[in-house]
Structure 1
């Protein structure tokens, strides 16, 4: 009997160890419009590096129905069908439709979640989208309940919405994920954490954007202590570790220094850093831009994160070493896995060395 129990224990342990962790790859499809080596389309995706591919973004209309935000790209160019076809390269790949994102805001989602008829419109349109195109599930990225035009009832309505989606998806086996704000102040304002966790398969925690130029000083985009604090808060509020997916930004937040001789973390800044040649947005640089800059780079071990500067330009970001620290933490907590925002700002062309260095670092830690 003792031998039998020991054998069962070994088998159970092997199943836990053998369970594949999630590596969720968000894809901002608009990178198709970038120029030169910043242009990104389905041909640049290595499907073997992801367990999930999150096709971003769809929006909703005022009636709550899901709609394309770029019909020419989604349908005329066939990006949706091309994304689904990646399952021919990796038969285990799950392709998810992502609804929401920062630019969508909160107002329409607040209205939809609080209205039974609009919720049904949302759910029915979601089922049609997934069935008609072959998606494997939905990722709802409402940024954020009870904020940016929402109201306090959003917190309870979000739970109701997720429960109704879960029930509608069950007969089809569709997966349901959400992307959520990470830090305690944002998360506690927006979510009934224990309740939403019961309704979803996984929770993508956006553990980045902890510092911005609007703070008036330089700071780290995703310092290790802030990432750990955020995950520990979610755990403390009843989110199971095996549903939490730790977010990694494949980009940096950039700053224009007030005085180029003051180039340390916490130094005063006068605004956002200059736009990159690929991403074209101030205050934001892709890792594929940062690694080619040849700026003076410092790894700050207190924050387990690097920063770089040149003249009055300063950027904080993640590199291979900082991602390793994050993955070690994810493993120590037994998290479901990791996600990246996003594929098109990793060094996917390998211009600074190997292709997809950050995503491959995640895989080496979690899957290989």
Structure 2
């Protein structure tokens, strides 16, 4: 082999092992994604997902062992759910990409903090996550750490992303398989505490992840029992608790727009009204409403149809609310979802994801979003 051939081979190998914004960070195809909570398998099996409406589907969630820092299926999954997920959703759409999401809102952030704090524990997480994805025929991995609590956590997160990408690339070169997609679910703003807390390591994200899933929901809920609120408000003229502010903070912080995927909700937040004559956004309330304050979209539609509830589209927040007697629910319908997708297109974002694929009503929200992005 002559020197030119040797040099060419070396450069080709390095291109696989070195993070590159052109080969890893810039995922050009529009993303139409959704998470599937595996704990809902009995009522909403993976096979029931209309995967033709999605480009990516996330199995949620794998667990992080608090002692070994290895990634593993949840205790209720003997391997059949995670093992059958990819084949189940590809029956409808052979091209859909699948990812394992690790963590979730009910996981312990302290376990993730400890894992990210040192090289051995990070390696345990990285190696086990890659092995799990390959074992069960997934195309990628998603970290859902809610949330790094300090500047130290954020710095360690950046290191984790860098090492994760490096190891994924090396594994790809060794196995001959395409590099795993690497993503992360993140706070709605680029810094915690409504934009005033520790900031995400955007430079490490841009270099090492394909994209981040911005959780643009849960702005308000039953933890604020005294007044109603739109938990997916696109705009809020009275505060920075809105999708417009959150996305703006990420882009101003340096995240390339084509590495941002916007979160959309297939559920609402509900309250019990204090006075039936006060029914708007911000109306006085006495606590969380139906279904512990978190009704799914299909439940909301059924409730509206059965009670003849009033439905109002709020132009200011680009969200919807409904009320009947003392019941009040803020949510999104096909119109508001389409408005939010138009917003993300205008900002040049990569696409959207839903929480979750199990909560839709006759796939009306997923269909509206897909059509609006096309």
Q: TM-score range by the shorter chain?
A: 0.7 to 0.9
Q: Which residue of 1 aligns with 2:205?
A: 196
Give the Cα separation in 1 of the matches to 2:287 and 2:92.
44
Q: Which residue of 2 aligns with 1:208?
A: 217
Q: Which residue of 2 aligns with 1:183?
A: 189
Normalised to the residue count of structure 1, the TM-score between the two structures is 0.85
Q: Which residue of 2 aligns with 1:157?
A: 156
Q: Which residue of 2 aligns with 1:244?
A: 260
What SS class does the counterpart of residue 263 from structure 2 fall into? strand
Give the Cα separation in 2 of the matches to 1:47 and 1:184.
30
Aligned partner (choices 82, 86, 97) of residue 84 of structure 1: 86
Is the 1:213–1:269 Cα contact (8 Å) retained in structure 2? no
- Describe the shift of the 1:231–1:30 C-alpha distance in structure 2 as closer, same or farther (beyond 3 A): same
Q: Displacement of 1:135 after TM fit?
A: 0.9
Aligned partner (choices 58, 62, 71) of residue 62 of structure 2: 58
Q: Displacement of 1:168 after TM fit?
A: 0.9
Q: Which stretches of structure 1, 4 residues or longer, exceed 6 Å deviation after superposition?
A: none
Unaligned runs of 5+ in 2: 1-27, 173-178, 236-241
Q: Which residue of 2 aligns with 1:10?
A: none
RMSD across aligned positions (CA): 1.6
Give the Cα separation in 2 of the matches to 1:289 and 1:74.
30
- Describe the shift of the 1:45–1:314 C-alpha distance in structure 2 as closer, same or farther (beyond 3 A): same
Q: Which residue of 2 aligns with 1:264?
A: 280
Q: Displacement of 1:106 after TM fit?
A: 0.6
CA displacement 1:173-226 (0-9 Å, x = unmatched): 100000001036525525122332322001100011111122221010111111
Alignment of 1:322-337 (within 5 A): 322-337=336-351
What SS class does the counterpart of residue 30 from structure 1 fall into? helix
Normalised to the residue count of structure 2, the TM-score between the two structures is 0.83
What SS class does the counterpart of residue 346 from structure 1 fall into? coil
Aligned partner (choices 108, 114, 118) of residue 117 of structure 2: 114
Is the 1:144–1:190 Cα contact (8 Å) retained in structure 2? no
Give the Cα separation in 1 of the matches to 2:151 and 2:29.
37
Give the Cα separation in 2 of the matches to 1:90 and 1:314.
37
Q: Displacement of 1:82 after TM fit?
A: 2.4
What SS class does the counterpart of residue 32 from structure 2 fall into? strand
Is the 1:52–1:93 Cα contact (8 Å) retained in structure 2? yes
Give the Cα separation in 1 of the matches to 2:276 and 2:41.
35
Q: Which residue of 2 aligns with 1:68?
A: 73
Aligned partner (choices 220, 227, 234) of residue 243 of structure 2: 227
Give the Cα separation in 2 of the matches to 1:264 and 1:211.
14
Q: Displacement of 1:108 after TM fit?
A: 0.2
Q: Which residue of 2 aligns with 1:99?
A: 102
Is the 1:113–1:161 Cα contact (8 Å) retained in structure 2? yes
1:285 aligns with 2:292: no
Q: Displacement of 1:123 after TM fit?
A: 0.8
The number of aligned residues is 325
